[in-house]
Structure 1
């Protein structure tokens, strides 16, 4: 079985993060603008709720949430699953951070970030650290069968915190 092609142009460091507003697992609208000027945001795109690698990655975020969320940082996970699937998955896995549904229009936010597999119809594994000013400061993009190593995110967040503390 061949893996889907990576999108041709995921966003890069220095790009402005596209704005969005999506429903979370509870049906509440969450937007990137909610955090503008207040918090940095880590966006974690993933293919499917309930799938093996995705479950492992979101459990890693859950189990190390203090490394992903705090007074200055918010984690937002995004997939093309429906809000209802995300709610069932969140309840089953005790995932209490926002799981956002990019279900309809199908994959529009993943497309804006360059991490939508058009031929398969889902988001690939894209991670973006967006600063409080809306600029992408770090990225990591993998195909659907490749688990992420979040250690680079931890370093990037530490560097961003040092930089913003010095300002």
Structure 2
């Protein structure tokens, strides 16, 4: 089985992390904000909260589940949590940017759908140039968190992932 050899306590911890990310404090709560915000103008803090709960929570939890398997110390755990939060939010900011700058064929989905559905996005709240700057700031936060983790070269793949999230074109 896929979980053979994984300690039951670790299995429980991983399941708990995923459940939290999917529940009311995570994806489900973010989706509730998303559905309630259609046609509304959100401020940046509310938009950030919504996306930290949705995409952000799942990406952050993916990082933390991997970290839990490596038994990090508390400082590493916090640094990796900060990294995951920054990458998760950067993914959504870039998704909002691509929705208005790329063609449907490039994206593999209908471009402009959020605008057409009157959904708040980072571009609609901040503007395109500020959204791009924000994505770069989040990348810098992700890299700083990795530096703070003390993992050195062992965090190389995570650094590349942060870059890929911000530089992607689809």
The normalised TM-score by structure 1 is 0.30
Structure showing greater relative contact order (alpha-carbon pairs closer than 8 Å, 6 or more residues apart): 1
Which is greater in Rg? 2
More helix by share: 2
More strand by share: 1
